[in-house]
Amino acid sequence: MSVQSITILGNGSWSSALAKILTDNGQSIQWWMRSADALKSLQETGHNPHYLTTVQFDMNLIGLHTDLIQAIHQSDIILVGIPSAFIADVFAILPKDTFKGKVVLSAVKGILPGHSQLLNEYLKDHFDLPTENYCCISGPCHAEEVAADKLSYLTFASDDTKVAASIAALFQSPKLQTIVSNDVNGVQYAAVLKNIYALGAGIAHGLDYGDNFMSVYITNCFAELQRFMDVISTQTQHHYNTSAYLGDLLVTCYSLHSRNRTFGNFIGKGYSVNAAKLELNMVAEGYYASKGIHEISMKYHYPLPIADTIYAILWLNESPAEAFRKIEGIFS
């Protein structure tokens, strides 16, 4: 697949990390930001003013845009890094043929609220995007460690593995190793669920549970994740990848870089959901994902006891302490 350019949509920490990887590899990009002030600051200083602020970007390789449609028209590959909660609103202005002939690369790790869909399902329904023109990225990979040039691993999944391999090659470097998969739904659902479980790990930490409990908690989370993916995706059991599933779960549950773990920690310490949002000042995908996954599990009549407990804490105002006593009962 020949590539002329890549357009990145969104300027959060993950989008910024991916922009850094590409430009460090000499790849030119177009970059859309909703905030004109953030765009102006990046243009003038070479730094994203709000995320990964220490990263210096090579502005000779970056074209900046506040016009969404124009930014998308510039490129063959559209990298979506907008938080899942805002995608439907942002894309509402786009004509139905916007993505015709383009490949969409998803860096989204969530369920679209109000639709209870993964991004590929939403794009197929609303923009007629062929399944082979969709690729998704999964970790384990924290934006902060990418920015610090720490060795990291990314999985690229597409129904067309040639597309996935071509895109992965753009990101490959001595500090960024890539893996190709065709388990599109499995990779995405694993990324969604690990954020929910990481939020629960943060709640447990805020409630003063220790490492012994945490090890049992994460083990059971992984078992629940595997069972769910076996139910919802026939691909999962045939294209299993430890780093994309277990590795991503571990790093998100344990790392201090994890915004979902941090968000959960506030909840465990007694913050309300709204207060935790204000304190974090970033989007914790696990919060929105917990509602989406709950709706999907109800649709498939397949309960997820741990994820459902996190949902009850966040959306039904169940006491974190009482909810985790129920989780203790699940493990015994």
pTM here? 0.89
What value does the mean pLDDT take over residues 105-128?
92
* pLDDT for residue 4: 62
**Confidence band (pLDDT; 50, 70, 90) for 237?**
very low
pLDDT > 90? residue 161: yes
What value does the mean pLDDT take over residues 289-318?
93
Residue 281: Cβ-neighbour burial (10 angstroms; 0-12, 13-18, 19+): exposed
As a whole number of angstroms, the distance between CA 198 and CA 269 comes to: 15
* pLDDT for residue 13: 87
Q: Say which residue, 142 or 38, is predicted with more confidence.
A: 38
* pLDDT for residue 256: 80
Per-residue pLDDT tens over the stretch 68-100: 999 999 999 999 999 998 999 999 999 999 999
**Confidence band (pLDDT; 50, 70, 90) for 139?**
confident
pLDDT > 70? residue 250: yes
Helix (H) or strand (E) segment spanning residue 154: strand 152-158
* pLDDT for residue 234: 52
* pLDDT for residue 129: 97
As a whole number of angstroms, the distance between CA 235 and CA 232 comes to: 9
* pLDDT for residue 244: 61
* Local structure of 131: helix, strand or coil: helix
Task: Give the residue numbers marked as catalytic.
Answer: 194
* pLDDT for residue 1: 42
* pLDDT for residue 53: 84
Q: Which domains does the chain have, with CATH numbers?
A: 6-182 (3.40.50.720), 185-331 (1.10.1040.10)
- Nearest alpha carbon to residue 228 among 318, 322, 292: 292
| Dihedral sign of CA atoms 184, 189, 190, 191 in order | positive
What value does the mean pLDDT take over residues 139-145?
78
Question: What is the pLDDT of the chain when averaged over all its residues?
Answer: 89
* pLDDT for residue 138: 87
As a whole number of angstroms, the distance between CA 104 and CA 183 comes to: 16
Compute CA 144 distance to the chain's CA centroid, rounded to the nearest angstrom. 14
Q: Say which residue, 311 or 53, is predicted with more confidence.
A: 311
- Choose the weakest-confidence range: 23-37, 134-148, 305-319: 134-148
**Confidence band (pLDDT; 50, 70, 90) for 61?**
very high
